[in-house]
Amino acid sequence: MNRQKLLGEEKISKLLMQFSVPAIIGMMVNTLYNIVDRMYIGNIPEVGGLALTGVGITMPIMTIILAFGMLVGIGTSARISLKLGEHKRDEAEQHLGNAFTLILLISILITVLGLTFMKPLLQIFGASQDTEIYASQYMQIIFIGTIFNMLSFGLNHSIRSDGNPKIAMFSMLIGAGTNILLDPIFIFALGLGVRGAAIATVISQIASTIWILYYFTKGKGSIKISRHNVKLKKAVIISIFSIGMSPFAMQIAQSLVQVLANNALKEYGGDLAIGAMTIISSISMIFMMPLFGLNQGSQPIIGYNYGAKKYHRVKDAVKIPVIVATLIVSVGWLLIQFAPELLIRAFSSDESLLEMAKTGLRTFLFMLPVLGFQTISSNYFQSIGQAKVSMFLSLLRQVILLIPCLIVLPRVGGLGLMGVWLAGPVADGLASIITGVVFFGSLRKLKENKVNDCDKEMASLHQESPLKV
């Protein structure tokens, strides 16, 4: 059976297993890019704590790079899914070719601007005299390798939309596996420290990029990157950006949150608090990445069936990921609340950092169980092309609620650092309530669309029946 035809006819639970499990594995492995770096960096003799804080300061910049990768990558993959669902293969290839060109242009611009303004950026993002040197060493190399970062991340989404989730997973395994192998060599064996971690990351991204480009040129891809499709077209760019803008805005907002958080942490807890947040963010990624994998796996299924007007299948393709996601983050919550030291000690053995991170971890991620529903629901709107709704729900948690909490709560009743930790669960809880209202309202409309389509089909049959008699 044709890969695209499977999306419209195969059992939803089976499709989600086929698409989401590789995506989850791939996202978990891909997460190791950052997590393994931080584990090794945090354990560098004598300077591990400061070096970890230095890398933590670079997170807003890394998030901005990721944002542009999502702008093009997720926007393209969602459009490819919709176009294939509508049986418009040529238009799907147009989106892929334009995505390739956009990534090249954006990555070059980021590299130039990043290297030019790196020092003032790091200072704005919360670097102190003690941590700036480590942040600079890391980001200088990351900026040089931006083009490979964006190509490997941005185009990999489209492999999954092409109906090849296992190959998409494998491309992530190539990159992350290479990084894990090279990290200890460059950091410790060659004595390059933080620079070594960055070099290992860029080399691994190069390996992943080569594999992905091969797939879309000479490999098994049913859609290809071709010369006549790499010329930018205004309509295609708008089409990509209209969907990609939601995750882009979310990541930009996340970067802003990280900047505000870094400065608040520096004010109320010093460099050590930034290091603690770096650990908290890393642990959060471990449990959130499966949710993003579920999103990636379900997106082509939701997009294809919505495009084909098979609304009952769309509903099932949302319900199952919500249940699975909630189970995953609930397990994460139990580990965080009852065994935080087990998680934190992987990143640092510094006792002062351990105690601060324990409090922050338990508090900041207290509402983790509700994020399963919130994350999957936001992705649903993105998958069906309702970019404005998806953007609103994404920004709700990351900007509209979280930023005011970060600013206000530390100043309430002298909470200080505890106010920073409390900002997370307050924003998460309120965002989930609002998301629930919007999401269930949309599902009711989906049911109405199904009824209307059935009525139209019956009317059509009544009109045709006299001819058959």
Q: Is 87 left (phi over 0), alpha (psi -120 to 50) or beta?
A: left
C-alpha–C-alpha distance, residues 122 and 133, integer Å: 10
| pLDDT tens, position by position, 311-341 | 888 888 999 999 999 999 999 999 999 999 9
Would you state the structure tokens that stand for residue 179, as one six-digit string?
Answer: 């990084």
Closest Cα to residue 167, out of 221, 95, 99? 221
Tens digit of pLDDT at every position of the chain (469 positions): 566 667 887 888 888 888 888 778 867 776 776 788 888 888 887 777 788 889 889 989 998 998 999 999 999 998 998 888 788 899 999 999 999 999 999 999 999 999 999 999 999 988 888 899 999 999 999 999 999 999 998 998 899 888 887 888 888 889 888 998 999 999 999 989 999 999 999 999 999 999 999 999 988 888 999 989 999 999 999 999 998 887 788 788 788 888 989 999 999 999 889 999 989 988 998 899 899 889 888 888 888 888 888 888 888 899 999 999 999 999 999 999 999 999 998 888 788 888 999 999 999 999 999 999 999 988 888 888 887 888 788 788 878 899 999 999 999 988 999 999 999 999 999 999 999 999 988 888 776 665 455 445 444 545 554 544 3
Backbone phi, psi, residue 57, to 5°: -65, -30
Supply the DSSP symbol for 187: I
Q: What angle do CA 166, 172, 174 make, to 5 degrees?
A: 100
Token match 């669309």: residue? 449
What is the 8-class DSSP label of residue 228? G
Can you read off the two tokens belonging to residue 74? 């997720």
pLDDT, tens digit, 9 for 90 and up, residues 345-369: 888 878 888 899 999 999 999 999 9
DSSP string, 345-382: TTT---HHHHHHHHHHHHHHTTTGGGHHHHHHHHHHHH
Residue ranges covered by each domain of the chain? 3-460
Q: Could you give the 3-state DSSP secondary structure of residue 469?
A: coil
Residue 303 CA neighbour count, 13 Å, CB half: 33
Contact assessment for residue 420 and residue 362, using Cβ atoms and an 8 Å cutoff: no
Burial (Cβ within 10 Å: 0-12, 13-18, ≥19) of residue 225:
buried
Q: In whole angstroms, give the CA distance from residue 241 to residue 426.
A: 31
pLDDT tens column, 249-275: 878 878 888 898 999 999 999 988 999
Q: Kindly report, residue by residue over 372-404, the tens digit of the pLDDT.
A: 999 998 888 888 888 788 878 878 887 889 999
Q: Which two tokens stand for residue 244?
A: 């990609």
Of the candidates 454, 212, 211, the residue with the CA atom closest to the CA atom of residue 311: 454
The answer to whether residues 252 and 65 touch, using CB atoms and an 8 Å cutoff, is: no
Q: How far, in Å, CA of 379 to CA of 375, rounded?
A: 6
